[in-house]
Amino acid sequence: MLRRVGRKLVTFIPPVRDAYRRGNIVMVHIGRCGSTVLGDLIGQHPQIRWEGEIYQQVFMKRERADTTVRPILDVDPVDEVMQRSNRVLKRFYGFETKFFHLRLFDTDVGSYLEALEQRLGKLRIIHLRRNNTLRKVVSTLAARESGTWHSRKRQDGSAPVVHVDPDSVFVNREAAPLLELLREIDDDYRTMDALLEMRPHLRLTYEEDIQQDPMSAYSKVCEFLGLPHAPVDIHFHPTTPGALPDLVENFDEVQTLLTGTEFEWMLELPPQA
């Protein structure tokens, strides 16, 4: 009885709730970058309530009425966060968003972070990157082809072979030329780097912190938040671990497009003798 009353006090009396809350976490990423396995690990920590990609429900609801998901102007993305956060009795509340999610709300990441800081407060930012963004594209296409977006068992290398159209690749709910998409992600990364210079943040990369051992990223998150390392289990594994020439049916065409550009290294070709 007393515990139930205490829970209501913390949840519904803002000064009590806010004093109890140590921090609010937003993880910004591009998708297909290890966010699911990391979010699951974070969510297993007893002092954190992790709600993942909270805007997916908004987009899915709109898609039922309009598959194009045009800019959503009648929903305030920060209001969505506030409503969810205010119901939570945990030391930390956390969630995820993608850059293109914010564009669908007709806002930019700078304005969004500023609004979170002003209205939510105690903000801790995690920026999770995938350096090889060509692999993000291939992973997205393979997941759409197979219907398997997340895997709870290790893959045996049997991921579907996909076609990457250099002129029109459908990612992030819209079609764009491959080079244009890769450069848009680069622009998002540079913008985020500038925004984080004066803010409490943690930078992680899929290649360095998750690919070989997701526990490495989890440990860094615990240290960043000043939390003890609670025991957790890895539940998710990569869905497209194979070599790119084996995953992309028109790899030669993609290679021709990227050769000589700043993205050539993403082809992961062996060094020439």
Asked whether residue 222 is domain-assigned, the answer is yes
Note the pLDDT of residue 247.
96
Asked whether residue 273 is domain-assigned, the answer is no
How many folded domains does the chain comprise?
Answer: 1
Q: Is the pLDDT of residue 271 over 60?
A: yes
Closest to 186 measured CA to CA, from 98, 97, 262: 262
Q: Is the pLDDT of residue 1 over 70?
A: no
Q: Which residue has the tokens 């297909």?
A: 32
Q: Is the pLDDT of residue 107 over 60?
A: yes
Asked whether residue 270 is domain-assigned, the answer is no
Q: Is the pLDDT of residue 235 over 60?
A: yes
Give how far Cα 138 sits from Cα of 69, 242, 267, Å. 23, 11, 11
Asked whether residue 12 is domain-assigned, the answer is yes
How many alpha carbons lie under 13 Å from residue 81 in its C-beta half-sphere? 25
* Of the candidate ranges 7-21, 24-38, 86-100, 259-273, the one whose mean pLDDT is the lowest: 7-21
Give how far Cα 225 sits from Cα of 37, 78, 92, 222, 256, Å. 18, 22, 9, 5, 44
Quick: pLDDT tens for 167-201: 999 999 889 999 999 999 999 999 999 999 999 99
Note the pLDDT of residue 61.
83
Asked whether residue 272 is domain-assigned, the answer is no
φ, ψ for residue 176 (rounded to 5)? Answer: -155, 155
Quick: pLDDT tens for 27-70: 999 999 999 999 999 999 999 999 999 999 888 888 766 666 67
Beta strands in the chain (DSSP E): 23-29, 48-53, 92-98, 123-129, 169-171, 174-176, 201-205
Q: Is the pLDDT of residue 11 over 60?
A: no
Side chain identity at residue 41, one-letter code: L
φ, ψ for residue 231 (rounded to 5)? Answer: -65, 135
* Of the candidate ranges 11-15, 81-85, 91-95, 239-243, the one whose mean pLDDT is the lowest: 11-15
Contacts of 183 (CB under 8 A, 6+ apart): none
Note the pLDDT of residue 2.
46
The pTM for the full model equals 0.92
Quick: pLDDT tens for 126-159: 999 999 999 999 999 999 998 878 888 776 656 7
CATH number of the CATH domain containing 72 = 3.40.50.300
Rg, the chain, Cα only: 20
Range(s) of the domain holding residue 153: 2-264
Q: Which of 6-20, 113-127, 258-272 has the highest mean pLDDT?
A: 113-127
Distance, in Å, from the CA atom of 168 to the CA atom of 213, rounded to the nearest integer, reads: 34
Query: What is the overall mean pLDDT for the chain?
Result: 91
Asked whether residue 271 is domain-assigned, the answer is no
Instruction: Give residue 16's pLDDT band: very low, low, confident or very high (50, 70, 90).
Output: confident
Contacts of 181 (CB under 8 A, 6+ apart): 137, 169, 171, 172
Asked whether residue 138 is domain-assigned, the answer is yes
Using the Cα atoms of residue 92, residue 231, residue 136 and residue 146 in order, give the sign of their dihedral.
Answer: negative
- State the pairing for strand pair 169-171/174-176: antiparallel
Q: Region of 127 please: left (phi>0), alpha (psi -120 to 50) or beta.
A: beta
Asked whether residue 186 is domain-assigned, the answer is yes
Note the pLDDT of residue 65.
62
Q: Which two tokens stand for residue 177?
A: 């030329």
- State the pairing for strand pair 123-129/201-205: parallel
